[in-house]
Amino acid sequence: MSNICITAFKWVPPFAQGLVRDLRVRWALEEAGLPYSEKLLGPGEQNSPAHRSVQPFGQVPVYEEDGLTLFESGAIVMHIAERSEVLLPKDPAQRSRARTWMFAALNSVEPHVQNLTTIDLFFQNEEWAKQRRPAAEKLAQSRLEALASSLAGRDYLEGSFTAGDLMMASVLRNPAASCPLHGGGEHVTGARPRT
């Protein structure tokens, strides 16, 4: 019996609904068939000493299980995926390829789409943002187009659904990722139920 507990926010503003990073963790737990409970932080609680002691940056998600505490959604999904052949195939080379796509989602795609979203949501009217946005958009689009090329004609990033698809699809939920992937990104974003 699992004693997994996920920490998330009790409420987020409408622009963030459906985009908070505990979703990727919940999705991984659903795929792995692992039940979990949740701890929902109210206003101000993210900066409490108790929360900072488990998440140094005051963010969510946090994963707790029998004395083990993890933060960083990528590390948490990896930890869950290690327990599920649905998320990480048995074959060592295929496992490594799936992990590669997880890192690609988190390191090569997410920072660029997140950057664009941050500019649009919080700094849209700033002069520096107006100057910065075209180059930021170009970079995000080039990553998305490269991803679309990798996916062309395929249902998944590798032969079958893995944690790499889960992580990439979770990153592609970001509104800044929606435009250039019509067609090529359809499968990776739509293949699994959205949490």
Ligand X SMILES: N[C@@H](CCC(=O)N[C@@H](CS)C(=O)NCC(=O)O)C(=O)O
Residues that bind ligand X (CB under 6 A): 20-21, 46, 58-60, 72-74
Helix locations, 67-175, DSSP H: 73-81, 92-103, 110-122, 127-151, 163-172
Nearer residue to ligand X within complex by CB, 89 or 110: 110
- Asked if 144 and 113 count as a contact pair (C-beta separation under 8 A), the reply is yes
Nearer residue to ligand X within complex by CB, 21 or 112: 21
Nearer residue to ligand X within complex by CB, 89 or 98: 98
Closest separation in Å from C-beta 20 to ligand X: 4
Closest residue by beta carbon to ligand X: 59
Closest separation in Å from C-beta 79 to ligand X: 12
Closest alpha carbon to 162 in 90, 65, 109: 90
Closest separation in Å from C-beta 57 to ligand X: 6
Nearer residue to ligand X within complex by CB, 73 or 189: 73
Closest separation in Å from C-beta 47 to ligand X: 8
Alpha-carbon distance of 145 to 103, in angstroms, equals: 17
Q: What angle separates helix 92-103 from helix 73-81, to the nearest 10 degrees?
A: 160
State the DSSP H helix or E strand holding residue 39, giving kind and residue range, or none if neither: strand 36-41
